[in-house]
Amino acid sequence: MKIKRPSAEQVWKQFEDLAPRLRLSATDRVVYSHLLRHSRLERKLRLRFSIPWLARGVGLCGNSARWAVRRLIARGLLRLIERGKAGHLVEVRLPEEVPAVAAGPNDPRPLCPNRTDHFEELDFLNHPSLRRAIHLRERGLCFYCRGRLTVRTRCIDHVVPLAELQDNSYRNLVSCCRKCNSQKSDLPAADLLRRAPR
């Protein structure tokens, strides 16, 4: 789909203002710039790509490129349309189109956690109703040890630690008991799952 080519200079200025606000790493910036160059600056709204193609293009290992794409999706710079064997199909957003920025600081409309048009971008950690949804999804059981949870013993945990991937989406949060949460600490979830009795 062909679209009007944006001014590269204007986009670069907007992105330089936006990147610190979204706390983008150098890796995130490189990956976004590469995807932007191959989509919007080529007058295409959407781009289909594979992680190996992206990793080669930006000089990163595949895992680093994959996590950068996930962080960009979580921050709203990319909108994931489809993911499959053919690769990722994303809509690359210009800085002015990022949902967190488009409303602007003076927009009177509050962030509504019940909106479903940007479900992937909702912050499930900072809204009580969305935290309850995470607990309901696990059906009252700890994600790690499968022990029964109560309101007093349950908590929310990041599968990929917040320091590594600043993602509060429903994909990265689970309901667990306090014991498993303290045992996991900054370990990968897979390590704890291997040790946990099932």
Most confident region among 68-77, 95-104, 158-167 by mean pLDDT: 68-77
DSSP H or E stretch at residue 175: strand 173-177
CB-based contact 93:79 (threshold 8 Å): yes
Interatomic CA distance for residues 91 and 44, integer angstroms: 9
CA distances from 189 to 96, 161, 184, 185 (A): 35, 9, 7, 9
With H, G, I as helix, E, B as strand and everything else as coil, classify residue 114.
coil
Evaluate whether residue 116 is within a structural domain.
no
Q: Which of 53, 71, 101 is the last residue of a domain?
A: 101
Question: Average of pLDDT values for 19-45?
Answer: 89
Torsion of CA 189, 193, 195, 196, to 10 degrees: 120
12 shares a domain with 93:
yes
133 shares a domain with 92:
no
97 shares a domain with 12:
yes
128 shares a domain with 95:
no
Supply the range of the domain harboring residue 181: 122-195
Of 70, 76, 80, 68, residue with least CA distance to 93: 76
- The pLDDT of residue 100 is above 70: no
146 shares a domain with 77:
no
- The pLDDT of residue 101 is above 60: no
Per-residue model confidence as pLDDT tens digits over 111-131: 444 444 455 667 777 777 788
Evaluate whether residue 115 is within a structural domain.
no
Evaluate whether residue 19 is within a structural domain.
yes
87 shares a domain with 14:
yes
How many domains does the chain contain in total?
A: 2
- Of 27-36, 52-61, 96-105, 155-164, which gets the smallest average pLDDT? 96-105
Per-residue model confidence as pLDDT tens digits over 119-163: 566 777 777 778 888 888 888 898 888 889 888 889 988 888 776
Evaluate whether residue 2 is within a structural domain.
no
Specify whether the backbone of 96 is left (phi greater than 0), alpha (psi in -120 to 50) or beta.
Answer: alpha
Q: What CATH number does residue 142 fall under?
A: 1.10.30.50
Evaluate whether residue 108 is within a structural domain.
no
Evaluate whether residue 130 is within a structural domain.
yes
Evaluate whether residue 110 is within a structural domain.
no
80 shares a domain with 43:
yes
Of 160, 143, 163, residue with least CA distance to 66: 160
Residue with tokens 């064997």: 85
- The pLDDT of residue 190 is above 60: yes
Interatomic CA distance for residues 119 and 35, integer angstroms: 23
- Written as six digits, the tokens of 69 are 């794409």
97 shares a domain with 31:
yes
- Residues found in the chain: 198
CB-based contact 153:188 (threshold 8 Å): no
Question: Average of pLDDT values for 52-68?
Answer: 91
Q: What CATH number does residue 85 fall under?
A: 1.10.10.10
86 shares a domain with 20:
yes
pLDDT at residue 118, rounded to an integer? 54
Per-residue model confidence as pLDDT tens digits over 160-184: 877 677 777 788 888 889 988 888 8
30 shares a domain with 88:
yes
68 shares a domain with 17:
yes
- CB-based contacts of 85, cutoff 8 Å, min separation 6: none
Of 190, 184, 18, residue with least CA distance to 95: 18
Evaluate whether residue 73 is within a structural domain.
yes
